[in-house]
Amino acid sequence: MPELGFPRRIILGEPAGDALKGILQLHKAKKVLVVSDPVISRLGFYKEILEALRGEFEIEEFTEVEAEPSIETAVRAGEKAKGKDVVVAIGGGSVIDVAKTASVLAKRPGLNIEDIAPFNPLGIELEKPILIAIPTTSGTGSDASYGIVLSKTEPGVGKVKVAVGSYEVIPYATILDHRIPAGAPGRVKAGAIADALSHALEALASTNSNPFSDALAEKAIALILTSAPKAVKEDDEEAWQNLHAAATMAGMAFSNSGLGLAHAIAHPLGALLGLHHGTTVGIVMLGVLEVYMRDPQVSAKYDRIKRLLERVYDLPERPSLLDHITRLYGEIGQPTRFRELGIDREKYIEAAAKAPELAYHDPDIAFSPVIPSTEEIREILEKLY
């Protein structure tokens, strides 16, 4: 049985500023680093969160996190985190991953980020700064996972993803204020939802899956498929509460099982094409799902989810789980093919030729129940254009 790790605290539904202030007071914190990005740091909810802390805490902001953040950005954030009591991440997966790295480097200056690994003890769990995450999308699951994904430039290849992780980087607390992701743009919402769904689907299929991860993944899939259309189309508050919780459940699931082929492919493909990760992995998942169904145990799990959706959650009967997912994508505005993103075919085929080999070097592929040849991966990607 694998070792399992989860956030110490999960706060549901409370306004983020109030919840954050309570945790800081509990830990008698004084010096706080807030990590975010240039867009989020200009939004109203971000300013409200910081306003709740004014006067009681010394706040420093690091708002330089870019999309697909670089190792260099994370190192700069780590310098700012030194001497702080708490690091607070307000953002999506990129922001949270930079904050995770910053909290590690504040405790272990000079550490090579690529040496962060589950079986390489850091010895930092009980040290300050503690890490608190306030996810702004219902998708990445980074607020509850041990993973960190950054980027670097490889000579002759270009920008590539660096995926590392440790149970010691799981945030101490995640604050789930569903009002925040409800205000995101439509394409961001769709990509985040596809990301969360892919996390849960791969967690179920993982060769390292276990009863805890399966239970979380099953519930996350059910909540996403039943709540996402109502949340996106009707802006229903209860649906957003369920969806935001489901994203964190999916994060806890994959953090304790591993991911697989879809993420191993999506990491390099998204980097090569400069695409949003959630949108990318959501499309790739459609091709990978059919590959996973070759494994009898995975096929049985996916069939069980299909029956659960139709008999317990009253979704209409459909030929397969893939049909349920495709239907969901149509309802929330998530593309099913890369051509829908306006990508030039020649540019896409060039990236699709490079991605399979890079996928073999991604650590997530180790958890895939079926590992196709590089040629088959290329064929899958060509079909997804």
Please state the three-class secondary structure of the chain as a single string.
CCCCCCCCEEEECCCHHHHHHHHHHHCCCCEEEEECCCCHHHCHHHHHHHHCCCCCCEEEEECCCCCCCEHHHHHHHHHHHCCCCEEEEEECHHHHHHHHHHHHHHHCCCCCHHHCCCCCCCCCCCCCCEEEEEECCCCCCHHHCCEEEEEEEECCCEEEEEEEECHHHCCCEEEECCCCHHHCCHHHHHHHHHHHHHHHHHHHHCCCCCHHHHHHHHHHHHHHHHHHHHHHHHCCHHHHHHHHHHHHHHHHHHHCCCCCHHHHHHHHHHHHHCCCHHHHHHHHHHHHHHHHCCCHHHHHHHHHHHHHHHHCCCCCCCCCHHHHHHHHHHHHCCCCCHHHHCCCHHHHHHHHHHHHHHHCCCHHHHHCCCCCCHHHHHHHHHHCC
Predicted confidence at residue 136, as pLDDT, reads 94
Q: State how far the alpha carbon of 13 is from the alpha carbons of 78, 239, 267, 384, in Å.
A: 30, 12, 32, 38
* Cα distance between residue 59 and residue 100, in whole Å: 18
Predicted confidence at residue 165, as pLDDT, reads 85
Nearest Cα neighbor of 285 from 350, 194, 358, 215 is: 194
pLDDT tens digits along 161-208: 788 888 999 999 999 999 999 888 878 899 999 999 999 999 999 999
Predicted confidence at residue 31, as pLDDT, reads 96
* Cα distance between residue 46 and residue 209, in whole Å: 36
Locus of tokens 């590992």 = 371
AA letter at 342: G
Predicted confidence at residue 2, as pLDDT, reads 63
Show me where the domains of the chain are located.
9-176, 185-383
Q: Which CATH architecture has domain 185-383?
A: Up-down Bundle (1.20)
Could you tell me the pTM of the whole model? 0.91
Predicted confidence at residue 1, as pLDDT, reads 47
Predicted confidence at residue 162, as pLDDT, reads 83
Predicted confidence at residue 155, as pLDDT, reads 76
pLDDT tens digits along 233-250: 999 999 999 999 999 999
Pair of tokens at residue 233: 């189309």
Pair of tokens at residue 148: 């960190």
Locus of tokens 């270009």 = 158
Predicted confidence at residue 46, as pLDDT, reads 96
Class in CATH terms, 9-176 = alpha beta
In which residue ranges of the chain is pLDDT below 50?
1
